[in-house]
Structure formats: C-alpha cells, structure tokens
Chain A
C-alpha cells in the first residue's frame, strides 16, 4: 500500500500540473477468498488479490477516468495524459462541476474481530461442508439440489484529491449464499438466500448463520410441499422485513438516485419517475405514501454490508432520510449531482473496485420501524396473506411498476396467520400502489444482504435492504406466469 499511496500523491501533483481542474486518485488493494459447494462437495475455491489505482480528472468541463494495475510513474503519467485529453475532447456544452465539500484527512475501518487470514482453509471449507450436512440430514430428498457459497472480501483503500482530502480505510465483508431447490407436490421451489455484513469470521457465529440458513430452508421445503394455488383477490398483505427491504431498495432507493433523475443512467439502469415529480414541486412537499412510511439509507450503521464512514469522494457519510412520514425528503447525491442541485453531497459516491468510477449508490436502505407489534398488524386483518419471503422480482427502469412473487406465504384469516400456504402469489404494484397502501409498520427489524446492480460497466455493490413487518391494505394480487 505504501508504494500505491506515494503514486496516488504523485498522480495528484502530476494531474494538476497537466491542467486538470480536479483530480482524485484512489488506490485499492483487495483480497477475495471464496468457496462453492454443491451437495456437500467443494466445487472450487480460490484467493484472488487485486491492487491498482483509479484516477479521475475534470478538465475543460469534461470528465476523464483511467485505471491500471501497473503501479509505475510512467503508466500513471500516460493514463492521466490520455484521461485529460479525452475529457477535453468531450466538448460539453454544460461543464461538470463538483460541490464544495469540507477537506478531510482521516481514516476509518470496519470493526473486525477475527481476520479471514487467521482461519484455516479447512475450517472455511468445513463451514460449507458441515452446513450442507445439516441441510441434508434435515431434508434428504426434499432438498435435492443445494449450492452453497462463501465469500470473504477485504480491502485497503487510500483516496486523495487535489483539494487536500485524504481518506484511508480498511473494510471487510463476509457473506454466505445458498441457491437451493426443494421438491414438492407441484414441482419445486427455488430460493437464493444471501446473508452478509461487514466484519470478520466471528460474523458466522454472532449472526447464527447456520441456524438462519436452516430456518430459511425449512420454509423453502414447506413452501414446495404445502403451498396451494388459491384464488384470492382483494386482500390485505403483511410483508416481512425481507420483502419490505427489497421494496424500499427498488421502489424508493433507486428512484431517489440523483444521477438517474437527471438522466446519467438513461441508457443503462434507466431514469426515475421522480423526474416528473420534481419538475413542479420541491422535496418535502411531495406526498409519496401514507404517513407510516419513512425510508432511510444509513451507510454508517455498524455491520451493514454497505458500511462506510467516508464515501469514495472523501465526503463524510450520514443517514439519508429518503421519505419522511410519507413525504419525499431527500435524494442520494454525490458531488457532481449535489452541484447540479446547488447543495452538498450526502456521501453516496461508491466504486466497487479500482477499475470503476465512483457513482451514486445505496448502502443500507430500509423501511423505518413503526409502533405495531407483529401480532397487532395481523390482528386487524380479516382476510389476507403474510408474505415472508420472495423469489422473482423486477421493476421498470423508471422504478414505478414493480413485481414481487411470494415464496413462503401464509393465509391470514380473522386476525390469525393460518397454516395454509399460498403458492407464488404475485404483487404487481406501482410504487404509489405500495407506499399509498401502507397502514401499519411493526417495531421489529431484519436486514438481508444483497448486491445492487448499477452502472456501466456493472458495479455490483454490497448492500443491506431491510425493514420491519409492513402491512399493505386492500391489495389486488397480480397475474402469474405458470
């Protein structure tokens, strides 16, 4: 890292001397150890190291970016020259500018008790092999196809800008994934489960990972064996933190990204329906849903998979209140888009590797807990469903029309969750359809791990997406695709 830091400092001086009005260098040294197992047999494992530098410049109002793993002064000089040349050649009518932000020189790291390197390779493989034994013992032929993955990522990063900011960080993310198929009467059900967070090897035990995976597979097997087709129409729907989390992420998080709203992702991840809303009204004045809806993104929450204290533009992170009591409150901003809105960045710039530019990303988006207990949410439901997990989901590229297909779903009758499981009910709802129908939010909370896809080239950013139980009143279920 020492050589990389020196070169990053060199890059800043060199870029400034070559006419860049802004230059930022980011050195990243990462280690990724991973294993895959199928039905208890390790399919593959490996450790990959990556070490390189990314440089971003503004020149004549255009932006240029270069990256290389060849950490030499000549390589960096050539990269900067070419990035500046291309930035100038873009001939923008409106120059790119960055918001003014506080200059910082600081360090942060995610808390780790046991580093991945301290654990033997055998113990890591045995985690997957033993986990598979637990699943096989419990389910046998009911869960015939089991794919288990373990991913251990850590990095050291140094970011420096010509404005004087310098941020060093160390991060460590651990995640376990299962992709399993359960056999049942009507065919089978499949489930991709991801659990993860920032931390070290201690996470496995502290987060009861084996128990949580077992519990999830009990649900999967139950759904495959017991769920029945049932013609239900206009009902109340209570969703778990997992389902509320994906809704918070897809229906609220993504449309709140300022780069989408102002069109930068137009040809890739798309724009945002907020563009229409913000044409005539201002933040704080736009009703998005019922008063019970508050949606927050907080990168600083300890343990979350998107944890950071300073973003990749050296801006201090803080919670972002996207929707507050039903009203549109805040957008995700980096320095470029904060400048467009004539405000300050709220530290949403993230890059997943040194080969990628920092762009606006979520970190840890969730429905804020409310006042109800789970039982109170159910008490008021005459007929409804309790959707505990989901399989298929998607949403249009303006983030308005979404679909969530239930996996573990129970019928609610007269204020009680029954044992009757419903097969693959479909919530095909607009964002307003979801947020406007919320009439109760519970006190409890859960946050699954996930990867958020955005950018070009794609940047799969680790995130949490969670929430409490949320009740949606009077929902018409959508059509299936059997």
Chain B
C-alpha cells in the first residue's frame, strides 16, 4: 500500500465511523512551475509544491465538500469530524442523487505523463529566452508571455471500493509579441509530452512575431455585418461558452444557452461535429476516471450539427434519466462551496476539409479574421447574447485576400446563431489552453457567416 492510499483509506474509515455513507477522496500531489516574462525578459519564476486531498461526503441527500492541504492523519480526522457535524445540519439537496456505486478497473492512459518533466526546470528558462529571441528576430520589438509546466500524481479512493491513480505532466506556453503597443500577435503551445517542446516554443514565438508584424499599421475598422474567421484560439473561447453550457446544472440556473429541447435537434451547421474526449494522449484534460470513479471515455456532443446530449455525472444522469457520461467534477459557481456536477474533459472539434489559405481564398465577402480575443461577457446567458473583444492581429479579408490589418472592433453576437452559421472548418486541429480558455479544446480554424461587428461610437 502506498502512503497515499493509506491516507485516503484512513479518511474513508474516519468518515464511515461518522456514519457518512458515501465518500470520495482524491489526493493530488506534485509540483507546478511558472516562468512569466515581459519586455523580453523573465519577470518571475514560481514553484508550487502541491499536496491536497479533496473529500466529498454524503449522507443520504446531504452532502459537503472539503479540501485538506498538506494532509496528515491528524488533520484528516479533525476536518472530517468537523465536516460531519456540519453535514448533519445541512438540509437535503435535490441535486444530489448518489455517486458511482459500480466497481471498476481502470485502463492505463498512455501519453499523459512524460518523465522528462522532472528535469525540465533546469532548461526551461533557457528555452523561454530562446523563444523570446526567435520572436524578436521575426520582427517583434518586445515579447511577453508565460510558461507553465509540472507534474502530479492523482489518486482516488471511494467508499464503493473504487481505486485508481494516474501520473500526469503538462506544459502550457503563451507568447505575445509586440511590434508597437497596438500591433501584437500571440502564439500558443501546450501538451502532456515534452517531445519537440523546443521547436514548439520557437514556432509559437515565430508565429507571434509574424502576426504582430502583419498587424503593424492597422487602422480603426468599420462596424457592420461580416463573415468572421476565428483562429483556433478564438474558436476555443467563443464556442467554449456553448460547451461550458453542456452542464445540466448550468442549464437549470440559467447559465447556458442550451436547452433540453435542443437535444436531438440540429442547432449547428452540418459541418460541426464535437466530442468530449478524455482519452486523448496529448489532452491536458485527459484522465482515466472522473472524480466519482466512473471510467471516462468519449461522449458525442454534436454530430453533424445535431446536439447529441449533455455531459453527465451520476446525480444529473439520474435526474435526466440518461446514461452517465463520466464527467463528474468538483464544481462551483466561481464563488461558494464546491459540489459534484458535470464538466468537460477535452473538447475535440472535428477538423474539416480546408487549409487556412483555402478558407481565406474562398472568402469573397468582407470577412474579419480574428487571431485572438478576450473578455467574453453576456447580456443574457440563456439567450446566448454576448460580445468579445479581438486582440492581437485582426485582418480584413476581401476578395479572397487579406487586405489590411484592422483594430478596435468587437464581435457582438449570439452563440446559437454562431453555431448555426458556421460556414467552413479548417483542417488543422490545435489544442488550445491559455488565460482565456480553461477547458482544453482541440479545434481548427472556424468560419462563421453574417456576424455583427461593432465599435465605439465616440
């Protein structure tokens, strides 16, 4: 037995002694690093030593969540005893309908851990400085960005006897290059594996510099109706708002543009096929089991534009009377206590038939090509009414060619309309994860017709 499984079993025993009948205990132990840089120099290098146990405790329909940092037997005993008293005084929740009770064995997931990560901190600063240099050589005047990397072991034990563990490693690299304060470009790279990391950094640095150069000399764009070409970075953020809404709890509280009546209906263009896939080797969200111990797999979301279903865990699948998709997560509303609710693993949008160059060449109508965006907010989440702000290089395409860089525009539209107006999907699929995209999303470039572009009036 490992030290961890001993601690998890100890926690389950303590909780069972407290007459708590359903228990999830998950320990995550590892190390995370960050190298932040700006003005073409490293600003700060951080190391996080992480070791925590998350516990979900349920007694009938009463449930609570707690997290114990740097766990010891004494801490675990004392916190569970406190939580047990707390739980007694909580009312029952209709949302909690049990956890995974079937016993499972989990297959090893290949490709999600690269042992080279253990020594990566020795050469990471040098690689970051090399990527900065590449971006400067490709035309940038200054470069900013961040590199995250790290590893962890996750172990799960449940009161139903499910036990599993996996090792994971990751890196996430963002580089933003500036030719001048208004002309910038961004490059991203992320993976579970360090194979080819050096060239990925250089490629990201070079891309960022190239976009920044192309953005140089941009002028105020004109508001109006345009087709919009979303880079993978933008598609992951904008369409990610739809995927976040695949959670039945979010639908219930009005935080999703999706509705139950959409299931089985065509609400997106025929080209649009999407899966939640937890088994992708490179996927930053890949794992063999969810936090309840349900084996994870592939869940169809959109098939040729038809919404196939929502993401589910044990409780929501019982409420919705559908199959559990194994997507249980510790969820919160951004504020407040966590509870069990479904969440995406890796979102994978199927690639289409066109290269970026072909999509541009086929864009005869005025089209705005947005390479990055931020600050997506809603007027009404159930209606899907939102706007988001392009940043970095943005270009006007006319008659099949990039005509000029444009600036200071806003994509102000409706998520459901965007889904149904997808008009072309690129071939090359890229994994996106950065500041504005917190669900790993494999996506190509996506073109959407007839979007509303607005600008400041004064």
Contact = CB atoms under 8 A, between A and B. Distances in A.
B39 interface: yes
Given A262-B39, A401-B408, A46 B458 contact: no
Nearest to B65: A46
Interface in B130-161: 142, 144-146
A482 B414 contact: yes
A355 B48 contact: yes
A65 B36 CA distance: 11
A63 B45 contact: yes
Interface in B225-258: 252-255
A71 B37 CA distance: 29
B378 A392 contact: yes
B68 to A, nearest CB: 8
Contact of A481 (B86, B121, B381, B385): B385
Contact of B45 (A87, A150, A190): A87
Contacts of B101: none
A428 B455 contact: yes
Interface string B30-52: 00011111110111111111011
B94 A41 contact: yes
Contacts, number: 292
Interface in B297-356: 332-339
B67 interface: yes
A394 B253 CA distance: 23
A90 B42 contact: yes
A316 interface: no
A119 interface: no
B375 interface: yes
B457 interface: yes
B226 to A, nearest CB: 13
A264 B336 contact: no
Contacts of B39: 262-264, 266
Contact of B458 (A63, A120, A429): A429
B375 A424 contact: no
A446 B134 CA distance: 50
B129 interface: yes
B377 interface: yes
Interface string B56-69: 00000001111101
Contacts of B121: 82, 86
B339 A86 contact: no
Interface residues of A, number: 105
Interface stretch (A98-106, A270-278, A318-326): A270-278
B47 A66 contact: yes
Interface in B79-132: 79, 82-83, 86, 89-91, 93-95, 121, 125-126, 129
A164 interface: no
Nearest to A456: B146
Contacts of A400: 408
A46 B333 CA distance: 14
A446 B376 CA distance: 27
Contacts of B49: 66-70, 75, 78-79
Interface stretch (A8-16, A32-40, A200-208, A327-335): A32-40
A188 B380 CA distance: 8
B91 A62 contact: no
Contacts of A43: 93, 95, 339
B239 to A, nearest CB: 16
Interface stretch (B174-182, B189-197, B396-404, B442-450): B174-182
Please classify the interface of chain B as helix (H, G, I), strand (E, B), loop, or mixed, using the class held by over half of its residues. Answer: strand
A181 interface: yes
Given A41-B91, A83-B45, A479 B458 contact: no
Nearest to B438: A458
A268 to B, nearest CB: 5
A112 interface: no
B271 interface: no
B46 A357 contact: yes
A276 B456 contact: no
Contacts of A94: 41
A352 to B, nearest CB: 13
A392 B379 contact: yes
Interface string B365-377: 0000000001111
Interface string A463-482: 00000000000011111111
Interface string A242-281: 0000000000000000000011111110110101100000
A48 B381 contact: no
Interface stretch (B11-19, B259-267, B386-394): B386-394
B176 A267 contact: yes
Given A34-B336, A401-B408, A263 B457 contact: no
Contacts of B454: 403, 426, 428, 478-479, 481
Nearest to B67: A48
Nearest to A86: B45
A106 to B, nearest CB: 27
B454 to A, nearest CB: 4
Given A34-B336, A479-B454, 12 more contacts: A34-B335, A44-B336, A47-B86, A50-B67, A64-B44, A68-B70, A75-B49, A82-B121, A92-B41, A392-B377, A401-B389, A437-B458
8 tightest Cβ-Cβ pairs between the two chains A and B: A266-B144, A90-B42, A86-B45, A481-B412, A69-B69, A44-B339, A46-B337, A394-B375
Interface of B: 33-39, 41-49, 51-52, 63-67, 69-70, 79, 82-83, 86, 89-91, 93-95, 121, 125-126, 129, 142, 144-146, 174-176, 178, 181-182, 186, 223, 252-255, 332-339, 374-383, 385-389, 391, 408, 410, 412-414, 435, 452, 454-458
13 contacts: A36-B337, A44-B93, A44-B95, A65-B46, A66-B49, A69-B51, A69-B52, A69-B70, A190-B379, A392-B387, A396-B389, A475-B457, A476-B458
